[in-house]
Structure 1
Amino acid sequence: MEENTTEAPIITTKRSLNSRIFYGCIILLLAIALGSIHYVYVSQLFENDRNFSHLSDLEREMSLRTEMGFYYSYYKTIVQEKPYIAGIYKLFYDKLVEYPKEVNAFNRFNIHPEVLIGSVYRYFEQWLTTNHKECHMVDRGEGRTPVKSCVGVGVPVIFYLEAIWGLAGVTVAALFLHATVLSTSILGGALAVLQYFANHAECTRVQWAPNERENFALPFLLLQGWLQTLQLRARRTAFHLQLPILLLNSISLLFWQFTPFIFLTQTAIFFVMEQLKIIDAKFLFVFIHNHFCSLHSAAILLQGNDMLKSSLHTCYFFVITVYCLIGSYTRIKVENRVNFYTESFLVVLRLCITILAAFYLRNVFGDTNELQDAHVWDILYSKFTDYKSFHTLIYTCSEVFDFLPVSSIVNMSKTLLVPFVVIVFFNVINFWMDDAYNRCEKEVMNIVSKKEKDDEDSGIENTEAVRDDKKKSIENVDVFVLYMRSLKIEPALFYNLCQMVVYGVMAALVMRLKLLFSTQMCIVSSLVMTSRFHIVPKCISKYINVLWVYAIVIVPILMQLAENVKQEMSHVGEFSDFPQEELLEWISKESAVGAFAGSMPVLATVLLTTRRPVVAHPHYEHDDARQRAYAVYKVYGKFSSQHYYQEMTRLKATHLILEPKYCYGKSGKGCSFEYIWDVEVPALKSNPKLCHVLLTEPVEHFYPVFKNEHYTVFRIYDVGVQYMPRTFST
């Protein structure tokens, strides 16, 4: 008997362990399968859009416009420079991107994804080019010479893109894992992925802009959110999860310059949770310590990036750290209404103090490091007022920096994503309130039962006086305080709902961030598959089979999914830009040595394809980069040619690329360069546009050396300076 009793728990434990391992393997296999589907899907969409496999190397590089070409140029440097250390050296001392100034690209541009992918390619280069590369000739039509096109992962650009498609697959796998943990249901994870595909255009743009920074960082942010949710769901600090979270935090900070803002919101949510006693102080300490380590490791790998060191996230993090060391022991135990109101006031006070202290530290650090990031606040200010300037209009005239359009909400409503989230939001809150009410009622009944038991034990008869005494004792119980103490809010649900709300505010202000909002909505929508949070009210679910309701509501999602996938797959295009190809070939073969000025998109392409130095670039976050772009774009304003020549001389530019579309382009939103410069410098409003003067009249210092239908290149030099050949008498 003793042997049997001792073996039974062991057998049960082994079975439960085996079942958990089996369940985990099923979830992992499903995540990999769903990620693989997305990997194939986005790569096919990209191929359909550009016919990428039939383009030449030059055309492929030209198709990566603006920031995409700018970032890819660093990958190209790593791949092409021999030896490898020479490529790394060129990134530390980049003389091409802001000529003649040397720039530490590691410090400024979040190029670690390109360095990592390029390094992997270099390691396997010989094997890849031997076994995974095929070339063929492509006929481009009458009047155009055939071009050589190579396919396979042995081609550097295709290897680069394959890494991006792989990360897109990780995004969906992480989404499934996160939703499965949050909803405690595989069906919930499947619904989240279904919603992601049904709202694909709202959730990602990786298929159109592959190497934007968010496409590298989002998979790791989702994995980090999954592990945070797993830890919150366990209601304890799982120390074995801290190292993976630390690594994911560091990678996210390295890969995307916007990540500090996301971690700022995460830190604020965890601090609010601690203040509301949803998590304990120990949980907050572990969270802060993890972010402390990841922040410092990222700062080291970014070569002491000033924007990161002086970010609002760093300052708020520092303030919360001080609070954890000092202020966390000043909490009041709530036992009556006076305690409750006092603690509520202190919670609000602590929140206000930490926010104000963070902004104060941000100003101090910004002044110390001489950072000028006022343009961020200027952009937000311009969205709600009539304030306009060159820099704010450059941002707000771009569609991706506009407000979230109503069409996005309509599209997400058609797939029932918005209705699901709204229902989940109210059902979860209602569940918490009902649960608190039941707990409170049970506590009151326990108090009554205890009173009756005490009376029985004391031998007192249940007279009217005793009943009055019981009634008074119940009335003395503060039901409100008892109810608030009975309110048990689940940390994982609270965190994910709050994160969704914060992402929603961010997306409403900047449409580019809607990918965070819509993806988080997909995760939250998984809760409709949790039995505790029915999609229909409990009063109705008593009388109908909830499974039938799920089956009915899935139908419109599948219909919209099929329609959206068909629409995306039906888009077929082919990249072609012969005027720009002529320009780039002329620069490579015919132009003199020197630095180029022009619009940011064309300069990124010139930098990538010709490896010529440029004086401005599309990475607009740094103040010096903004001032350089400001000076170059004056050609589309109404300044004098002499003033512009002085600006180009200061920047050491020897060539100017002028685009008539920017000179004569019109915009219904008031975003033409003529309008922007009239707003910026109204005193010059009556002057002719400098670009028009350059295109129609001979102008001193600016001499046209190349022209086609889309581009005109001017050689910039002082005609008074002449170089005479040395003569020798014989």
Structure 2
Amino acid sequence: MATSKDRKRKNNEKTTKHLSIFYGKTWIIILAIFLAPLHHIHVSTLFENDRHFSHLSEVEREMSFRTEMGMYYSYYKTIVESETFSEGLHKIRHDNLTEYPNTINAIKKFNLFPEVAIGLLYHNFKWLGLIPARLCWQIERGEGLSPVTSCEGLGEPIYFYLEVVWYCASATVAVLFLYAVNLSDSIYGGLIAVALFFYNHNDCTRVQWTPPLRENFAYPILLCQMFNVTAILRQYTKNRKIIWNDIYQDTPSRDMVMCTLLSLLCWQFSQFVFATQLFALLILKWLKIIPNELYLKLCLIHAVPVTIFIFWTQSNLLLCSLYTCMLIASTICSILSTKLPRTIALPLDVVSTIFGMQFLKFFLLNSDDDAHVFDILLSKFTNYKTFHTMLYTCSSEFDFLGYDTYEAIVKTFLLPTVIMSGVLVLYYWYRCFNTDGFPNCIEMDVAYNVLQTGAFVIMAILIMRLKLFMTPHLCIMASLVTSKRYLEKVEIRNPNIRASLLVLLFACMSYTGVQRLYEEHGFVGEYSNIEQEQLLDWIQKNTPSNAVFAGKMSLMANIMLSTRRPIVNNPYYEDKEMRDRTLKVYEIFSRKDVSTVYETLMEMKVDYVVMEETYCYDAGNPKLGCKITDLWDMVDKRNQRRPSVCPILCRGNSYPFRRVFVNGRYIVLRLERSMSVELKPKITEHYQF
């Protein structure tokens, strides 16, 4: 029997162990809290340096939010400029500016949860008197331009909005650090991941250039969601049991539900990330690395937020998505496979899941809303082209991953470190295979992250823009090089030797990495777009408040934001109706005759068309086959031999279009409503403020 002295000694050892774990976790959290503000300072400084934002007028600041950024920010502006939050909410729930003449619920359609939340915060802070005073000054702009008043501080709505964005960026680094520490079981792993994140900053995030984009709000939550999946897999590895009754008492499971729902609310693209996650987990299930019951639990966790989101938003895009179809098909097949003999359960599960998913996606729940995504992928491997796929693929962001990214991740030692981590993991699994056998030798959490990173790498190679998923996850995987359990398997047991190797590795990363940081901070620019400012000023002063505009997608968002005029097309290209509307508006760049273009725009109830002269003369895109007329020649072969209508309209009045404004870049045409009414429009030539 154990003596009282033995029991006391065991209790002391247990207490010491618990204290050690507590102090270790506390130290990790303190480090995460310290690292987060560094990213806040970094991105806010880069943003200010890039456009000298503090010295811009309100219109210039809004113009700097190009394409869909301007559209998203306009809803926040609507909320904060309303007398009350509820009044602003009502306006964007009954929005008749974005898709005129339709009235839409913009909150449900455009993933505006971030703008609604920030708008609510602003109103509450204002009501509580917590909004500080603004600091304003007058800026002399020279060159005959009128001076502007510039204000900064949290009292300025745009600065309040940006501050929330910078806090989200801070959260990204904090979660990245915690994720890497958890995966590698080493604080050094977290520090290596964060250092590589900063050294490859331009390939990890674009928050410093495009603050209002959905990804900047959703990515830290997505990262947290993947972190919780990793935690659930590790938890099962330790306990070897699945708790069904207390699924919402289990912290990682509960957090995963919340993160999944918030990600879907913040960004329409989140569903594609979750589709890759489910596919990675499916592969692990088919390889018997994770049990069928654990996969079913993860599917249930996914199903709860998906169901809530679909019922709340009636989102056809998510309901008919590959993610939802995969979730339904794989769950049903996983349940049925448990009742089949083992010899045929696996092949039937694989075949039925794949065919079930395709049946749901392409036959039962078929939708055209996300068809453009599959069309883009198809165009990458074949000669398949449509007007819409060409609009995407002609953009450099949707091209294949560029050489400069490969060069950067090699020079900063990110890729070599990931390769070293991969070699260590594979050797560890090989050594464990000799003792534990398959599949016990495979660590579930690490295997999931390997497959998830692989999915992000493939996505990034095909579409350069998606490197923003790949590079941060490579940073996380690089942290495994510091893992004690892997280094001990290759006989690196001495702590001093391990520390020396890590210092050497960090020095190799920093040689190029620090230089890249200096280059980023060394850039100083200033935003200016006089021609667009002239255009917006003219619209504000010379057109009725209900005048309807059409034109290039990116410009329409800025017109709606700064002038509050209705527009018929916007940059939200994920919606099939908007793709169809944009195709009709872009007839102004086609080879159709003037009367056909006029009739199309009249059917859409357009009053004014804004044209960019560079697009008319095919100077918009230098890539071969990417001129706007090339796109039209592909879809409108009947008119291939006709001249383009755009230069005809730009050269002067071509009834029933009337040129009412022109400067060095933009031309505004008014559509005459009646052939019998004599109109004498005033043509405003290029002028200075």
TM-score (norm 2): 0.92
The one-letter amino acid of 1:554's match is F
Matched, 1:79 2:32: no
Structure 2 equivalent of residue 476 of structure 1? none
Contact 1:129 1:155 in 2 (8 A): no
Offset, 1:540: 8.9
1:321 corresponds to 2:274: no
Asked whether the 8 Å contact 1:233–1:491 carries over to 2, the reply is yes
For 1:364, the equivalent position in structure 2 comes to 363
Q: Give SS of 1:658's match.
A: strand
1:461-482: CA deviation from partner (whole Å, max 9, x where unpaired): xxxxxxxxxxxxxxxxxxxxxx
- Structure 2 counterpart of 1:242: 253
Report the aligned-residue RMSD: 2.2
**Pairing 1:668–2:667 present:** no
Matches within 5 A, 1:60-209: 60-126=61-127, 131-209=132-210
Give the aligned partner of residue 503 of structure 1.
456
> 1:304 and 2:314 equivalent?
yes
The CA deviation at 1:534 is 3.7
C-alpha displacement at 1:136, in angstroms? 1.3
Matched, 1:437 2:434: yes
Distance, in Å, in 1 between the alignment partners of 2:589 and 2:354 is 42
Q: 1:275 to 1:81 in 2, by over 3 A?
A: same
Shift, 1:360, TM fit: 0.9
Q: Find the counterpart in structure 1 of residue 271 from structure 2.
A: 260
Q: Give a deviation string over 1:415-445, Cα, whole Å, max 9, x none.
A: 1111111222232122212221244xxxxxx
How much does 1:271 deviate?
A: 2.4
Question: In the alignment, residue 259 of structure 2 is paired with which amino acid?
Answer: L
Q: Which moved more, 1:308-317 or 1:584-593?
A: 584-593
Matched, 1:398 2:395: yes
* Counterparts in 2 of 1:129 and 1:545: CA distance versus 1, 3 Å: closer
C-alpha deviation, 1:202, in angstroms: 0.8
Letter paired with 1:638: R
Q: Bigger CA drift: 631-640 or 375-384?
A: 375-384
* Contact 1:129/1:154, CA 8 A, preserved across alignment: no
Ranges in structure 2 where 5+ consecutive residues have no aligned partner: 244-249, 680-689
Q: Could you tell me which residue of structure 2 aligns to residue 530 of structure 1?
A: 483
Aligned counterpart, 1:568:
520
Q: Provide the residue aligned with 1:422 in structure 2.
A: 419
In structure 2, C-alpha distance between the alignment counterparts of 1:721 and 1:112, rounded to whole Å: 49
Q: 5+ unaligned residues in a row in structure 1: which ranges?
A: 333-341, 440-482, 725-730
Provide the C-alpha distance between the structure 2 equivalents of 1:700 and 1:684, rounded to a whole number of angstroms.
21
| 1:696 equivalent among 630, 633, 651 | 651
In structure 2, the partner of 1:217 is: 218
How far does residue 331 in structure 1 lie from its aligned partner after superposition?
5.5
**Residues of 2 paired with 1:544 and 1:140: CA distance?**
60
CA gap 1:652/1:569 in 2 versus in 1, 3 angstroms: same
CA distance in 2, matches of 1:27, 1:43: 25
CA distance in 1, matches of 2:455, 2:209: 26
**Which of 618, 621, 626 is residue 571 of structure 2 equivalent to?**
618
Find the counterpart in structure 1 of residue 685 from structure 2.
Answer: none
Match of 2:533 in 1: 581
**Aligned residue in 1 for 2:663:** 708
Aligned to 1:463: none
CA distance in 1, matches of 2:635, 2:671: 26
Q: Residues of 2 paired with 1:509 and 1:8: CA distance?
A: 60
1:423-572 pair list within 5 angstroms: 423-439=420-436, 483-484=437-438, 487-534=440-487, 538=490, 545-572=497-524
Secondary structure of the 1:103 match is: coil
1:720 and 2:684 correspond: no
More deviation, 87-96/514-523: 87-96
The amino acid of 1:577's aligned partner reads: N
More moved, 682-691 vs 27-36: 682-691
Partner amino acid, structure 1, of 2:213: E
- Give the direction of change, closer, same or farther, for the CA distance of 1:35–1:68 in structure 2 (3 Å limit): same
Corresponding residue for 1:354?
353
Are the equivalent residues in 2 in contact too, given 1:128–1:154 (CA < 8 A)? no
Q: CA deviation at 1:3?
A: 4.2
Partner of 2:687: none
Aligned equivalents of 1:284, 1:582: Cα separation in 2: 58
The AA in structure 1 aligned to 2:398 is F
Q: Equivalent residue of 1:207, what SS? A: coil
1:516 corresponds to which letter in structure 2? Answer: F
Deviates further, 261-270 or 714-723: 714-723
Mapped to 1, the partners of 2:354 and 2:562 lie a distance apart of 46
Partner of 1:473: none
The alpha carbon displacement at 1:639 in A equals: 1.0
SS of residue in 2 equivalent to 1:94: coil
Please say if 1:650 is aligned against 2:603: yes
Residue identity opposite 2:322 in structure 1: L
The alpha-carbon deviation at position 547 of structure 1 amounts to 3.6
Give the number of equivalent residue pairs: 665
Give how far 1:718 is off: 3.1
Distance 2:269 2:349 in 1: 26
Distance 1:275 1:174 in 2: 30
Structure 2 partner of 1:595:
548
- Write the deviation string for residues 170-211 of structure 1: whole angstroms up to 9, x where unpaired: 001000000000000000110000111111111111111112
- Deviation (angstroms), 1:78: 1.2
CA distance in 2, matches of 1:309, 1:374: 14
- Distance verdict in 2 for CA 1:199–1:348, change over 3 Å: farther
2:562 is aligned to: 609
Query: Hey, what's the Cα distance between the residues in 1 that align with 2:231 and 2:642?
Result: 63
Question: 1-side partners of 2:347 and 2:266: how far apart?
Answer: 35
State whether residues 75 and 115 of structure 1, in contact with CA within 8 Å, keep that contact through their aligned partners in structure 2.
yes
**Once the 2 structures are TM-superposed, how far is the Cα of residue 214 of structure 1 from its aligned partner?**
1.2
Deviation at 1:233, TM superposition (A): 2.0
State the AA in 2 paired with 1:293: V
Partners of 2:71 and 2:548 in 1: CA distance: 16
> Which range is displaced more, 608-617 or 358-367?
358-367
Question: SS state of the match for residue 714, structure 1?
Answer: strand
Question: What's the offset of the Cα at 1:142?
Answer: 3.6
The 3-state SS of whatever aligns with 1:97 is: coil
CA distance, structure 1, for counterparts of residue 93 and residue 252 of structure 2: 34
Query: What's the CA shift string for 1:608-642, capped at 9, x where partnerless?
Result: 00110000000001111001110111111111110
Separation of aligned partners in 1, 2:185 and 2:306? 31
For residues 110 and 328 of structure 1, what CA distance do their matches in structure 2 show? 38
Whole-Å separation in 1 of the counterparts to 2:133 and 2:637: 58
Change (3 A) 1:608 1:621: same
Distance 1:291 1:219, change over 3 A: same
User: Given that residues 128 and 153 in structure 1 are in contact (C-alpha distance below 8 angstroms), is that contact kept between their aligned partners in structure 2?
Assistant: no
2:284 is aligned with 1:283: no
Write the letter of the residue equivalent to 1:373: D
Q: CA deviation at 1:384?
A: 1.6
Cα pair 2:168 2:220 within 8 Å, conserved: yes
Distance 1:544 1:3 in 2: 39
CA contact (8 A) 1:424 1:524 kept: yes
Q: For each residue in 1:12-61, what CA deviation from the matched residue of structure 2 results, as whole angstroms up to 9, or x when unmatched?
A: 33332222221111111111111110111000000000100111111110
